[in-house]
Amino acid sequence: MIDIKLNHLPLITSIVSGKGGVGKSIIVANLANMLAKNNNKVLIWDGNYNFPNQHIIFGVEPLYRAKDVYSEKIALSTAIFRINDNLSLLADYSVDDIKMDINIDSVLKIFKQLITEYDYEYIIIDTAGGLSDLLMNFVNISNLVGVVLDDNPSSLIDSYALVKIFLKFLNPDQIKLIINNVIDREDFNEISTKMNLVSENFLKLHFETIGYLPYDREIHQSILNQDLFTNLGNKQLNEYMNNLAQYFIDFYKYNNFEIIK
């Protein structure tokens, strides 16, 4: 357990999904970029231990990465890659050995350093889809958990299963929904309603949906070009992501994070 009290702590958010392929990493990258554009200090921590891809999305190849820090080969400061004045990335390598595993104490050590030695206002953790011990530890150190889902039935089912597990150690208010690949506002409302019908029926809880992104060819093209759609000047797409970023800005503004455990 870590128990730290500081005058200033970042808003730490884990972005999760019940399954892979729902666009979680793209949302992380563009959300972080939009927060940085709003003059905030932001770090992306690529917490997908097996198959990280934030460096691919940004089109960068940091010399050192998270596994080098986990194994204590280098200092954390050496591994943090600066993308621009406001945005940094703690990238990672894909595993090349099935026996490779992580020491959770190493993760907690990095977490402690980030909140005591750096001035980030937002730390966004891109986690692997599904459930793992590493995911649970990332979620446990987060102020907010954003669950990304789409209209695929398996996405809804897996997201609900994930939320049920999180509720064993999270306050329900910490869990937020983000809907991806929607056709229109009606589609967004339908997906959000389906998820909450299940949670209200079985858990007696309603989860806030804090943002959504449409299915858009420009987003798909930005992925192929290793560029961020928030850099391409599409006003409508930027508005969707800016609305999501504004939620985090307001949350950070009106909440005082004094103690993290």
Q: What is the pLDDT of residue 5?
A: 46
- Nearest alpha carbon to residue 128 among 136, 140, 120, 118: 136
In the predicted model, residues of the chain with pLDDT beneath 50 are 1-3, 5, 259-261
Q: 40-55 burial, b for 16+ CB within 10 Å, e for fewer? A: bbbbbbbbbbeebbbb
Q: What is the pLDDT of residues 64-107, one digit of tens each?
A: 999 999 999 999 999 999 999 999 999 999 887 555 678 889 99
Long-range contacts of 80-88 (CB under 8 A, 24+ apart): 80/43, 81/55, 83/58, 84/36, 86/36, 86/37, 86/39, 86/40, 86/41, 86/42, 87/32, 87/33, 87/36, 87/42, 87/43, 87/44, 88/42, 88/43, 88/44, 88/120
- Nearest alpha carbon to residue 27 among 253, 237, 168, 225: 237
- Give CA–CA dist 174/139, Å, rounded: 10
Does domain 10-256 fall into CATH 3.40.50.300?
A: yes
Token pair belonging to 102: 């992580």
- Give CA–CA dist 126/52, Å, rounded: 9
Q: What is the pLDDT of residue 103?
A: 81
Side chain identity at residue 7, one-letter code = N
Sign, CA dihedral 39-84-143-24, equals positive
Domain-by-domain residue ranges, the chain?
10-256
